[in-house]
Chain A
Amino acid sequence: MIAVIDYGVGNLYSLTASLKFIGADVKVTSDAEDLKKADKIILPGVGAFEDAIKKLRATGLVETLDQLVAEGKPMMGICLGMQLLFEKSYEYGEYDGLGYIKGCVVSMRERVSDDLKVPQIGWNALEIKKDDVLTKYIKDGDHVYFVHGYYADECEESIVAQTNYEVTVPAIVRNGNVCGTQFHPEKSGNVGLSILRAFNEA
């Protein structure tokens, strides 16, 4: 069973629908026991970092997550859920993340030219940097759907795939059993479904 953490951030309809579509057994939950029972965990998220990390901590699940991650349970963060996996974010301040992956989250606006539209919203191509279970059904140049104004930085060693938006945007990251996608696999058509399928099967 894949546990999708419900901590009041964002709309889980498409994510759960896409997981069901690929045949995964899904449970949306905010119960620590469900996370312990789950084979894999997905941390979704849309919105601002501060609000999301506060809400996640307020669920009281972080201690359980820390323990399960340390034990090696596979976990995937999506979009803001991926950003939460890093050590720190500089979105409207400075906030600590979960610290499962080395690196921080920084503003795109400050690093791209003024006329480039931020947030990045749309389909962009993946450049695959390393072999990974998540990329087993996809290929270099496949497009996925991004919606984000901040991105991960100082995480070179964990980049599985990246995309270009004037800056190099880490698109798929991994540190051991913890991985994340900056884009929305549940909105990325067949390519996105293939990534979810690979995560489910791994």
Chain B
Amino acid sequence: MITKRIVPCLDVRDGKVVKGVNFEGIRDVADPVEMAKFYNESGADELVFYDITATVEGRSLFADVLEKVASQIFIPLTVGGGISTLDDFDRVLKCGADKVSVNSGAIKDPDIIEKGAKKYGDQCVVLSMDIKRVDGKFHLFSHGGRQDTGIDALQWAVDGVERGAGELVVNSIDTDGVKGGFDLELLDEIAARVNVPIVASGGAGKMEDFAELFKHPGMDAGLAASIFHFREVDIMELKQYLRGEGINVRL
């Protein structure tokens, strides 16, 4: 059967990886291509690139980075950041992306999910959601998790899948950066409502957090950034550990 996926996420600004990186044996730790190669060799199942630039120059540097990565790394690549139109889909798919992740763009115009799914297939459209508890309810946040939209996040997930999203990235703002484990309460609520792959994000601090995640039904992938970038968790060791815990992973 299909394996559980481990997905490192790289934020790219002006062609460089941001967030501190702490690697040995890599020439340029900020070079996304070097990072992608390293992760590919260490067993990452997929890579996510977020373009966090706002400038035209930044966009074009990002496209260059993506093309370089896609011509040397042959695993699935998901790209997000600033996707709000079909032209944006086209722009990143042409550079070698396999899946396109929409977040704020879909909040502004939910039709983009349907348009993207119709043109490129459901499997190509990833709905990424930043979610936080407000008065005991799960609210959807926009603008990189800074603004409360007031939207019920669980309903948003259901609606997104109905519109054609083929996969959900569920990022919990409450657990993000805390390193105390994934937000299993939130993830379970979403898994009970949809039947597409769920990528859990926010909160992973150690290998056990991934084992706990994958023991919950409906969880397909665990995404993290800094714990991989800082080598607090090595992906190969993580996968060996998970296999020992009876979890099906690709080694």
B195 touches A187 (CB 8 A): no
Smallest beta-carbon distance A26→chain B, Å:
12
Smallest beta-carbon distance B100→chain A, Å:
11
Partner of B166, one of A121, A123, A165, A188: A121
A14 touches B167 (CB 8 A): no
Q: Which bucket holds chain B's interface residue count?
A: 20 to 34
Smallest CB gap from B121: residue in A: A47
A121 touches B123 (CB 8 A): yes
Mostly, the B contact residues are: loop
In the complex, what residues of B have CB within 8 A of residue A115's CB? 195
Mostly, the A contact residues are: mixed
Partner of B250, one of A123, A166, A193: A123
CA distance A84 to B25 in the complex (A): 45
| Chain B 64-95 near chain A by CB (<8 Å), digits 1 or 0 | 00000011101110000000000000000111
Find residues 145-199 in chain A having any chain B CB closer than 8 Å to their own CB: 145-147, 164-166, 186-189, 192-193
In the complex, what residues of B have CB within 8 A of residue A47's CB? 121
Smallest beta-carbon distance A16→chain B, Å:
9
Q: Is A89 an interface residue (CB 8 A)?
A: no
Partner of A121, one of B167, B195, B250: B167
Q: Is A17 an interface residue (CB 8 A)?
A: yes
Smallest beta-carbon distance A85→chain B, Å:
20
- Choose among B70, B94, B123, B196 the residue with the greatest number of A CB atoms under 10 Å from its CB: B123
Interface, chain A (partner B; CB < 8 A): 11, 13-14, 17-18, 20-21, 46-47, 115, 117, 119-125, 143, 145-147, 164-166, 186-189, 192-193
Interface, chain B (partner A; CB < 8 A): 1-3, 5, 40, 45, 70-72, 74-76, 93-96, 98, 121-123, 166-167, 195-197, 220, 250
